[in-house]
Amino acid sequence: METSNNSIADAVRPLPKDMSHHFSDVTKARAPSRMKEFYKYFLIPNIGQLAGGLPSASLFPFDTLEAQTARPDRWTPTPNYPDPDGTLSSRLAATSISNPTVASHVVVPHDAPTSDPRKKIDLATALQYGQADGYPPLLSFVREFTRDYLHPNVPYKGGPEVIFTVGSTDGMSKTLEVFSNVWVEGKNDIRERPGLLCEVFMYANVLTQAQPRGIQPVPIEMDDGGMLPYGPGSLEDVLANWDHSKGKRPHLLYTVTMGHNPTSGVLSLERRKELYSICSKYDVIIIEDDPYWYLQYPSAAVEEAKARNLPIPEPKIANTLEKKSGYEYLDSLAPSFLSIDVDGRVVRLDTFSKTVAPGCRMGWITSSPSICERILRVSETGTQQPSGFAQVVIAETIMGPQPEASAAFAARSAKDRATFSGWKMEGWVRWLAGLRGQYERRMNRMSKILEEHAYQLKQSTPMRGSDSDWGVITKTQLYDFKWPRGGMFLWLHMRFETHPLWKAAGSRGNLIDGVALSTALMIFLTRKPYLVLVSPGLMFSATDKIRRERGWAYYRLCFAAESEENVDSCSLRFGEGVQRFWRIKNVKELEALLDDDAQSQSQSQSQRRTQDDDGAQLVNLGSWMGC
């Protein structure tokens, strides 16, 4: 695979720049493994192994691992360039074509009789101690996919390296460890305080990771298209006018660029170039966390325009870069920051959580080789490799029975042998396209229903002496939103200022402000008959200031978790609940909602304590919520 895209123009491409001045003290102090010198002895043919500290693979309690797996064509894809004349309902109908019974039986044998580590897919290797960078067969597949298909345009010589993580939360944790020193208030100089550039609304779990290290979030303004490069509050603005008395000028930027969490935008190639040049100017490392990269929705702009009776936009070519993957689906997607990373300052986090399952606890980092080497040192002394169970089942599913593993292959039923040869690259890409289809249809279903509930029509009492029997019809906008261009979320801008009780004085003399309305509506929606739970924008605000000033004006709705039918009914109940909420005219009704909730809060806390003591209920809500 080294002879493909990445080496053709290597002679003229510059190497990535040295980024080691960004490394933390701990990272700089990491010595390469002392064991390396010893490695050559392991390679002596037929050497009797009394040196290693391994248990015997013959004593593992598993003789095979097997799975009933989907075939890549289980789900029906959506078009990469949707026909503007096609109807939404015809696209939604495609769902029924999907066929969940399309399956193969996969068997991982205990021992595969090949000596090539890249083709040896068996329990004796996968369940043994292994390489911290990944299980060789799967690593080799992911590396090929990443370098040659997903990011064929990386500008620096040699192209990027990949290293497995145990999921992107782990990837982010390791990246923070590699690039930031711990800063302690009262102990360290304020001018040393590290900062993390991020969007004003963001995946807040990252702040939970950064906060104990003393890292301050530095929010950058954004619009539907993502982070703003220029203008007030933009990246350039914040970096150019940095106040050093508040901390070190940040050298790390965190961003979700494709199907932004929570705002759902996809960062265009043009804006990437602008942001990148600013990062290059101010020497900033870009951490690109893209779990939803394969979920980009070309139909959103078309359907949104149709729903609003606006001109249908031209199909957008998101990727105008030179090298193609050869897969129309992949080539239709907006490309990564890696594709323009001449300096080698991009660290990209990928995950299997959204393409296979979160329970894999498996992802990978793509970055320059020297940065990956430092991440590897962190893995070696922490997580080591991802679980062999996950790695081997996925390797076998994608790569199929290797020809050399003939005994195991022969042991399968004739039917399995006939039908199953592994997904291969083509199947993997087809699987992703099928998933995109599933989620794109859900997105359209939710958007369509919400579109229909965005306004409230009110007829005023006819004026005496008017010509008409009818009063004036007023149209109140309850919320606005963009149909999501990617990801799993719809970002709803609630227009609480149009609520009849906006800024009304409550019984305690407080004004009913945005925070109160937002919280009251969220609670109201969880009650019968609406019974629907949404995430308040307060949860995604990068700072308390943002939370206070505007976080209350947003909700994030996820269309991914529920079935298509439930997406419909939940969206409908949401729309109806909001409509009903805008008819509340009595301040006491809102106050009652908030009071009730505060009471149940303290009850639930004492309940939870009991459960915690019980040890089985310590739920990791932050990651579960994707917030």
Q: Binding of its own copies at residue 94 (CB under 8 A)?
A: no
How many Cβ atoms sit within 10 Å of the Cβ of residue 451?
18
Q: Binding of its own copies at residue 455 (CB under 8 A)?
A: no
Q: How far apart are CA 449 and CA 441, in angstroms?
A: 13
Q: Binding of its own copies at residue 140 (CB under 8 A)?
A: yes
Q: Binding of its own copies at residue 131 (CB under 8 A)?
A: yes
Residue type, 254: Y
Task: Name which position in 16, 77, 82, 130 contacts its own copies (CB under 8 A).
Answer: 130
Cβ proximity to its own copies: between 306 and 573 the closer is: 573
Phi, psi (degrees; rounded to nearest 5) at 365: -105, 135
Q: Binding of its own copies at residue 247 (CB under 8 A)?
A: no
Task: Name which position in 198, 392, 429, 449 contacts its own copies (CB under 8 A).
Answer: 392
Task: Name which position in 55, 231, 313, 500 contacts its own copies (CB under 8 A).
Answer: 55
Scanning 115-123, 219-227, 317-325, 400-408 for contacts with its own copies by CB under 8 A, the matching segment is: 115-123
Structure tokens at 588: 């006491």
* Sign of the alpha-carbon dihedral angle for 367, 319, 223, 438: negative
Site for its own copies in 584-613 (CB under 8 A): 600-601, 604, 608, 613
Whole-Å CA distances, 519 to 112, 346, 548, 563? 58, 38, 13, 26
Q: Binding of its own copies at residue 413 (CB under 8 A)?
A: no
Q: Binding of its own copies at residue 129 (CB under 8 A)?
A: yes
Dihedral-angle region of residue 290 (phi above 0 means left; psi in -120 to 50 means alpha; beta otherwise): beta
Scanning 149-157, 168-176, 217-225, 498-506 for contacts with its own copies by CB under 8 A, the matching segment is: 168-176
* Residue that the structure tokens 């993997």 belong to: 428
Q: How far apart are CA 580 and CA 516, in angstroms?
A: 17
Burial of 112 (0-12, 13-18, 19+ CB in 10 A): buried
Q: How far apart are CA 199 and CA 209, in angstroms?
A: 16
Task: Name which position in 3, 12, 21, 56 contacts its own copies (CB under 8 A).
Answer: 56
Scanning 64-72, 84-92, 251-259, 325-333 for contacts with its own copies by CB under 8 A, the matching segment is: 64-72
Q: Binding of its own copies at residue 460 (CB under 8 A)?
A: no
Q: How far apart are CA 89 and CA 187, in angstroms?
A: 61
| Nearest of 341, 251, 340 to residue 24 by alpha carbon | 251
* Residue that the structure tokens 């006491």 belong to: 588
Task: Name which position in 5, 325, 383, 444 contacts its own copies (CB under 8 A).
Answer: 383
Q: How far apart are CA 563 and CA 56, in angstroms?
A: 45
From the centroid of its chain, how far is CA 543?
21
Q: How far apart are CA 289 and CA 147, in angstroms?
A: 17
Q: How far apart are CA 152 and CA 147, in angstroms?
A: 6
Structure tokens at 99: 């066929």
Task: Name which position in 3, 11, 12, 44 contacts its own copies (CB under 8 A).
Answer: 44
| Nearest of 79, 146, 167, 22 to residue 433 by alpha carbon | 79
Cβ proximity to its own copies: between 419 and 526 the closer is: 526
From the centroid of its chain, how far is CA 411?
40
Q: How far apart are CA 258 and CA 266, in angstroms?
A: 4
Task: Name which position in 16, 145, 153, 161 contacts its own copies (CB under 8 A).
Answer: 161
Site for its own copies in 177-196 (CB under 8 A): 181-182, 184, 187
Cβ proximity to its own copies: between 110 and 324 the closer is: 110
Site for its own copies in 335-354 (CB under 8 A): 353-354
Q: How far apart are CA 219 and CA 197, in angstroms?
A: 6
Q: How far apart are CA 434 and CA 426, in angstroms?
A: 12
Give yes or no for a contact between 615 and 477, defined as CB atoms under 8 angstroms apart.
no
Site for its own copies in 204-223 (CB under 8 A): 204-205, 208-209, 211-214
CB of 179 vs its own copies, minimal distance in Å: 14
Task: Name which position in 276, 294, 329, 431 contacts its own copies (CB under 8 A).
Answer: 431
Q: Binding of its own copies at residue 42 (CB under 8 A)?
A: yes
How many Cβ atoms sit within 10 Å of the Cβ of residue 52?
9
Q: Binding of its own copies at residue 361 (CB under 8 A)?
A: yes
Scanning 222-230, 312-320, 471-479, 550-558 for contacts with its own copies by CB under 8 A, the matching segment is: 550-558
Give yes or no for a contact between 252 and 179, defined as CB atoms under 8 angstroms apart.
yes
Number of residues near its own copies (by CB under 8 A) = 157
Site for its own copies in 265-324 (CB under 8 A): none
Q: Binding of its own copies at residue 21 (CB under 8 A)?
A: no
Cβ proximity to its own copies: between 96 and 620 the closer is: 620
Cβ proximity to its own copies: between 29 and 97 the closer is: 29
CB of 444 vs its own copies, minimal distance in Å: 16
Q: Binding of its own copies at residue 473 (CB under 8 A)?
A: no
Task: Name which position in 169, 336, 367, 444 contacts its own copies (CB under 8 A).
Answer: 169
Structure tokens at 243: 């106040």
Task: Name which position in 6, 16, 19, 65 contacts its own copies (CB under 8 A).
Answer: 65
CB of 393 vs its own copies, minimal distance in Å: 6
CB of 353 vs its own copies, minimal distance in Å: 7
